[in-house]
Amino acid sequence: MLFHQFFLEGLAHASYLVGCETARCCAVVDPQRDIDLYLDEAQRLGLTITHTFLTHLHADYVAGHCELAARTGAAICIARAANAQFEHLPLDDARRIAIGSVVIQALATPGHTPESMTLAVYDSASATVPTRLLTGDTLFIGDVGRVDLLGPQHAENLARQLHDSLFNKLLKLPDEVEVYPGHGAGSLCARVICDERSSTLGRQRRENYALNFPSQDAFIRSMVENVPETPAYFIRMVRQNRQGPRVLGGIPQPPALSARQVQARLAAGAVLVDTRPQARFAAAHVPGAYSIGAGGGFSTWAGSVLGEETAVLLLAEQDDQIPILVRQLVRVGCDRLEGYLAGGIDAWAGAGLPLRHLPQISADELRQRLRRREIAHVVDVRNDSEWNAGHIEAALHIPVGSLPQRYREVPNDGPVAVICAAGYRSSLASSILLQRGYDNVTNVMNGMNAWNEQALPLPG
């Protein structure tokens, strides 16, 4: 058997190539949308990609199943319960698919989603025990999949199903079976995934907190309580993956635009995403631009504030960053890429076009201004668990992913200070407020991390 794990930083997404060296064929499991890495690996190994599997309808990224099918002719395999709207091979529980001498068996493991499946990989048709489990978002290393992504009204029932999938199906297999999940640490599809990218059932049985509750009821309570915020774009991703994402045929190459061309497109309704560090954005930026710094969280935050039909323009620190930024955007379904500002902010300034400044203050200065009543409102844009761990008295809590829908809750009758943990999310939130007509906005540098390090008072 040929086996390879691919890991995509930022989305913390794991995908897999499973192949048969004798038959020179392979399958790709849970592919990312930019599929060149699978094509390159298959070519390097001299394999034909005959199948691609989805363990479930992914919520955090656009999958590459339709892209692979279009480029290679691979059959798309997905649970019948997914009600997929593209040509596919529907999988029922225990269905076996041969990849040469290797066998992939679909095991229905609902819980994270109703259609979730685990793929059991057997070395041969005669093998009675799988060597590997590709668990998707059912079982992670150190955690299990969230059950709340379809809404709180479904969470308890899905938690019950997840418990059954884990304890009455997966954990019936031997301890030595290897576990390869669909995500690693940093994914929003669970809470406390470990840094390790594979394990065994035996280790998970011993070490995974979610597999060691004293009862099913205790497991269910843990799954439905204190869950992280769900990014708004997750619903859109599920829909796109069920319908079948638009086939790109390769990574788009948006054109280089002059400052005047960007200005014209902004006037026509396009949105500019400024991917420079927050300090550079604060010093000078194009009015109305979003501050979404290039880095690990770029895809997630871009998906959270940009719609699938949003016409997007990019501004980068260096023009050679544009190709990777484009990849990160198409991974979350932002396909309308109209171009980028050639020469960046210097080109905009050089054309004599207006610039805007975002004031920044330290945590200690925020404290002093609050004492002097120079700040009317503090908006804390961290997630629920961070907020619950401690926050500034009288702060308004709106997680940044919800701010585009909830910004009207922020009073516009005086100076507003925006704070997160370290300054990245608050820079984005500040840009959202500026774009929506808030004129007196200040970003708090280093955020609550600095507040806590200085032992400033934390009443809540």
Structure tokens at 454: 């200085």
Residue 365's Cβ-side half-sphere holds a number of Cα atoms within 13 Å equal to 13
**CA–CA separation, 453 vs 141, rounded Å?**
31
**CA–CA separation, 279 vs 366, rounded Å?**
17
**CA–CA separation, 81 vs 180, rounded Å?**
23
> From the CB of residue 394, how many other CB atoms can be counted at a distance below 10 Å?
10
- Spell out the residues 6+ positions from residue 207 whose beta carbon is closer than 8 angstroms to its own: 142
- Confirm if 19 and 100 have CB atoms less than 8 A apart: yes
Residue indicated by tokens 């969470």: 155
**CA–CA separation, 282 vs 124, rounded Å?**
59
- Confirm if 294 and 316 have CB atoms less than 8 A apart: yes
- Confirm if 186 and 14 have CB atoms less than 8 A apart: no
Which residue, among 304, 242, 282, has the nearest Cα to 423 in the 3D structure?
282
Residue type present at position 105: Q
Q: Cα 211 from chain centroid?
A: 25
Determine which one of 25, 189, 334, 420 is catalytic.
420
Residue indicated by tokens 């930026």: 285
What three-state secondary structure class fits 310? coil
In the residue annotation, 25 being an active-site residue is answered as no
- Confirm if 67 and 33 have CB atoms less than 8 A apart: yes
Q: What angle do CA 381, 306, 186 make, to 5 degrees?
A: 55
Which residue, among 398, 440, 61, 434, has the nearest Cα to 272 in the 3D structure?
434
Strand order in the sheet with 132-136: 96-99, 102-108, 117-122, 132-136, 178-181, 199-200
Question: Partners of 122 in the beta sheet?
Answer: 103
Structure tokens at 275: 């991917």
- If you compute the radius of gyration of the chain from its CA atoms, what whole number of angstroms results? 24
- Spell out the residues 6+ positions from residue 264 whose beta carbon is closer than 8 angstroms to its own: none
Which residue, among 101, 83, 22, 86, has the nearest Cα to 52 in the 3D structure?
86
Residue indicated by tokens 């597999």: 211
Catalytic residues: 420
